[in-house]
Amino acid sequence: MSLASRQLDTLRGRPKQITLELYQYTVRLLLSHDPTVDGASILATCTLLCVYEMMASTVAEWRRHLQGCAGLLRMRKWNGNSPGIVKTCFWAFARIDVWAAFILNQTTLIPTDSWVEEDSLAVVAARGNTDDYCNFAILIFARIINLLNASGDSSSTELRQTAQASWKELQQWRRWRQQSVKPLMRVDAENKGPFPMIVFALSASICGNTFYHAGSILLLQSGLVSATSSNDEERVRDPVWHARELGGISISNPSHANWVNHLQPLYIAGRVFGPGSKSPRPTQYQSGGRMHAHVQGSPSSTNKSADDEDGMTELAEFPAEKMALLKHLAKIERETGWKTSDRARELRILWGLEN
């Protein structure tokens, strides 16, 4: 009730005292329980309160509440392979944990080596369980976050080797997707907008592919990977392609449950459209049985000569993508109550649209 009340307050723009009272009452009930004997219902309550804190507090504050949830999970030795609602709660917690780590440039509260019993992508792929396979994309992404935010206790060579291994695993995840994880329908952007239409049948598939593209961008931008493997398609080496895919996935799948997890991926995509993020030289790649030329700018950008492009300011790059992202972020906040305006403002500043 406290979480629902918080969302209604945000949507209506009128905070009520009852929301805080419901939250405080729930916390008092939780504090009266013995964590050594708490069951799945207590874990579910803790997870929901973590979501409440994400809506109500700054990241530094709500991460402190995550620590209590993490402590309960570790005390009971629960992880991503636990049965029933515990498994659901773990992966909900994991998504919150990994985005908090991303925002704060820290590592996850629960080390990734204890997230699952089986950490072989090949084994998980062979089992054919869609949820498990998509959750594995979250695990790979968390490893990338921990790698990029780890303290300097590894040599540069070790970091590059680990990053390259993560890149290889991430691209294997995409190649080994079963049919249920692939898009149900895909329509290239062409003249209708800067992003392709990418429709999925399952929420898990939306989530898994979102983490795949976000992780690919972070690794490509880190400078730690050499994405030149002969097994890689040309487009997967291009951060702009991944950014457009993220925009297309979020806009094409109007799922509020997924939208609240898209704020940070869309921010990652938006940074790609900022100053210094150049597309590679025009290359040809196969997509949906058709050949496309991947060139700088968006499909909706006006055609200019090379001399004109050299004189373009950063503000003129990817104008359609920037506008579409800002509109979509505003729509997410308007329809879900999930605050996106802060990240939108950061993007406007990055793009030179606001001081």
For the residues of 276-311, what is the DSSP string, one character each?
Answer: T-PPPSPEEEEETTEEEEE-SS-TTSPP--HHHHHT
**CA 137 – CA 214 distance, rounded (Å):** 10
**Domain, as residue range, for 218:** 118-275+318-354
Q: How many CA atoms lie within 13 A of 60 on its CB side?
A: 0
Residue pair 52/2 in contact (Cβ under 8 Å)? The answer is: yes
**CA 333 – CA 339 distance, rounded (Å):** 5
Instruction: Give the contacts of 273 (CB within 8 A, at least 6 positions apart).
Output: 240, 243, 317, 318, 321, 322, 325, 351
**CA 281 – CA 128 distance, rounded (Å):** 38
| pLDDT score for 16 | 65
| pLDDT score for 116 | 97
Q: How many CA atoms lie within 13 A of 164 on its CB side?
A: 11
* Parallel/antiparallel/unpaired status of strands 197-199 and 283-287: unpaired
Locate 91 and state its tokens: 């992966």
| pLDDT score for 68 | 79
Of 283, 284, 252, 261, nearest in space to 186 by CA: 252
Q: Examine residue 95 and state whether it is found in any structural domain, yes or no.
A: no
Instruction: Give the contacts of 264 (CB within 8 A, at least 6 positions apart).
Output: 99, 102, 103, 214, 343
Residue pair 64/100 in contact (Cβ under 8 Å)? The answer is: no
Q: Examine residue 51 and state whether it is found in any structural domain, yes or no.
A: no
293 φ, ψ (degrees, to nearest 5): -95, 120
| pLDDT score for 302 | 38
Identity of the residue numbered 46: C
**CA 60 – CA 104 distance, rounded (Å):** 8
Helix (H, G, I), strand (E, B) or coil at 185: strand
pTM above 0.85, yes or no: no
Below-70 pLDDT ranges, the chain: 1-17, 19-38, 52, 56-57, 151-154, 227-232, 276-316
Q: Examine residue 132 and state whether it is found in any structural domain, yes or no.
A: yes
Q: Examine residue 81 and state whether it is found in any structural domain, yes or no.
A: no
Split into its structural domains, the chain has a count of 1
Q: Examine residue 201 and state whether it is found in any structural domain, yes or no.
A: yes
Q: Examine residue 153 and state whether it is found in any structural domain, yes or no.
A: yes
**CA 2 – CA 63 distance, rounded (Å):** 18
Q: Examine residue 102 and state whether it is found in any structural domain, yes or no.
A: no
**CA 165 – CA 182 distance, rounded (Å):** 23
Of 38, 24, 98, 105, nearest in space to 71 by CA: 38
| pLDDT score for 60 | 77
**CA 188 – CA 247 distance, rounded (Å):** 12
Number of helices (H) and strands (E) in the chain: give both, helices first. 15, 4
Q: Examine residue 296 and state whether it is found in any structural domain, yes or no.
A: no
